[in-house]
Structure 1
Amino acid sequence: MSTSYTSISPDKLSRLIGTANAPTLIDVRIDEDFAADPRLIPGATRRFHLDVQDWASSLTGQSVVVICQKGQKLSEGTAAWLRCSNVDAESLEGGHLAWKEAKLPTVPVGRMPKRDGRGRTVWVTRARPKIDRIACPWLIRRFIDPAAVFLYVSAPEVEATADRFNATPFDIENVFWSHRGELCTFDVMVQEFGLSTPPMVRLAEMVRAADTARLDLSPEAPGLLAASLGLSRMFDDDLEQLNAGMLLYDAFYRWCRDATGETHNWPTNKGKR
């Protein structure tokens, strides 16, 4: 299939997912196709194509990629409707099938919490985060739900808050999203959400080493620990700290993905001997 300005290849899209500049992903597969493979491209949200005129206005000003089963009529038609609503919309070449054929990661919908009335997942954890409780929200916002809401509350109130506000608790004892054996909560999320790509596995090793005081597991872990503890001292507001931490993990993820083989040294004018 030839690339056009109204479509994007799976390879190019995969390079955008997980970054701050990732487009909004809309999955418009019919129920039958989705039921046969209930997994989403990381960060995607399901929408009904026939309702596009109702939800298009909520995407005004955004860059959007529309995904259907084969990248044909449903995604092209939905993207065309979105462009009529001043949305910068493309369709995914080859659709969900091409993404799978390229062996790119997909997220099992059964692992995703139910969304609230505004279509957001809501999570709750202990206040005053350091490592896991910043790393996990970064993972969720970059690969699961860009609009996810995070509630930071006192440790004794996490479970009760989760119950009263229909939120998903994480990084506390005796809940699904928590440490398992030697794995930290970030490790668990990477595995359960089907995101175990080589760069993500490397980042998970860094997070685990820093979060569990086993700095020997990763040469970069002391730097992550230092940066994380420094952020926790810079911000009294947990959400402000999370916003700053998003940039920190963006940088570490891009290093894991694109720059592990690169070195740097201050240039000198010394001649060769």
Structure 2
Amino acid sequence: MPSNSEITTTKLSRLIGLPEAPAIVDVRTGTEFASDPRLMPCALRKSATEARLWAPDLLGRHVILVCSDGGAGSQGAAAWLRRLGVSAETLEGGYAAWRSAGGLLVEPEKLPQPDDTGATVWVTRARPKIDRIACPWLIRRFIDPKASFLFVGAAEVTAVAGQFGATPFDLDGVYWSHRGDLCTFDAMLLETGLHASGPLQRLARIVRAADTDQLELEPQAAGFLACSLGLSRMFRDDLEQLEAGMLLYDALFRWCRDATDETHNWPSRTKQG
């Protein structure tokens, strides 16, 4: 049984990908990280021995510290965070336990480096509909919750990417884009290792069906397309639309994860004799 300052892999896995997910801080040593350079979703890499220096950046957040085995590295850093007023727990068994349990892991090798504020910056075409909302949702929920997204005219995406150090996506000729029958959301799942998630795979099929006009592929695709197009008509500002769309994807992800077997029907009236 975990202590009062530990969280189990099972409990943490239920929080991953949700808006209320805790901040995860990976404090494995450089050698430990080099032996397996994958990260838990949205994890930050920090030095355990410097916890007192970066703790103020996490005030107001619930934080999970992860070292290789749940031992001194994470427990010492968590103790420092609590000493400085941050709500902090450690992951029982650490990274090794998460990996052994089949916990979702992100491969960061092909992801862009964060800017001087610690956030990745992405740029795409203005007036998003489906893929250009799906990808930011995936990035913020599983890769970088602080990510910034720039929406510009299609002809200016490449120039803005170069001038502002942003990573272009969902545009012909760039790395993060459609590949054959797959849409950009599919490509991001494959390149980051997030395709290992069954719920995200289900969500990807719905996104692909709606984004590529193959509504027959998934029963939910037509309704999802209707909601996505409705949002695009509701908001003139693309960033406001993105924030509204996050809730739509949060709900669909929870359905893919927890509710695909649930049905709903108005109960028939019992005939009175």
Q: Same fold (TM over 0.5)?
A: yes
- Secondary structure at 1:225's aligned position in 2? helix
2:130 is aligned with 1:134: no
**Post-superposition shift, 1:224?**
0.7
Q: 1:5-33: CA deviations, max 9, x gaps?
A: 21111111111010011000100100000
2:178 is aligned with 1:179: yes
Q: 1:156-200: CA deviations, max 9, x gaps?
A: 111111111111100001111000000000011111111121111
What's the TM-score once normalised by structure 1's chain length? 0.98
What is residue 122 of structure 2 aligned with on the other side? 123
Counterpart-to-counterpart distance in 2, 1:113 and 1:272: 67
What's the TM-score once normalised by structure 2's chain length? 0.98
Q: 1:30-63: CA deviations, max 9, x gaps?
A: 0000011110001101011122111111111110
What is residue 61 of structure 1 aligned with on the other side? 60
2:240 is aligned with 1:240: yes
What is residue 149 of structure 2 aligned with on the other side? 150
Counterpart-to-counterpart distance in 2, 1:69 and 1:226: 45
Q: CA RMSD in A?
A: 1.1
Counterpart-to-counterpart distance in 2, 1:76 and 1:217: 48
**Post-superposition shift, 1:202?**
0.5
- Secondary structure at 2:124's aligned position in 1? strand
Taking only the aligned residue pairs, the percentage that are identical comes to 58
Within a 5 Å distance, the mapping from 1:1-273 to structure 2 comes to: 2-196=1-195, 197-271=197-271
Q: Which runs of 5+ in 2 are unaligned?
A: none
**Post-superposition shift, 1:108?**
1.1
Counterpart-to-counterpart distance in 1, 2:30 and 2:66: 13
- Secondary structure at 1:152's aligned position in 2? strand
- Secondary structure at 1:107's aligned position in 2? coil
Number of equivalent positions: 272
One-letter identity of the residue aligned with 1:214 = Q
Counterpart-to-counterpart distance in 2, 1:170 and 1:35: 28
**Post-superposition shift, 1:272?**
9.3
- Secondary structure at 1:250's aligned position in 2? helix
CA 1:271 to 1:193, structure 2 compared with 1: closer, same or farther past 3 Å?
Answer: farther
Counterpart-to-counterpart distance in 1, 2:199 and 2:252: 10
Counterpart-to-counterpart distance in 2, 1:251 and 1:88: 27
- Secondary structure at 2:14's aligned position in 1? helix
One-letter identity of the residue aligned with 2:134 = A
Counterpart-to-counterpart distance in 2, 1:112 and 1:90: 28
Q: 1:208-260: CA deviations, max 9, x gaps?
A: 00000000111000011000000000000000000000000000000000000
Counterpart-to-counterpart distance in 2, 1:104 and 1:172: 32
- Secondary structure at 2:200's aligned position in 1? helix
**Post-superposition shift, 1:118?**
1.0
- Secondary structure at 1:69's aligned position in 2? coil
Counterpart-to-counterpart distance in 2, 1:42 and 1:173: 28
**Post-superposition shift, 1:266?**
1.4
**Post-superposition shift, 1:105?**
1.7
Counterpart-to-counterpart distance in 1, 2:271 and 2:199: 38
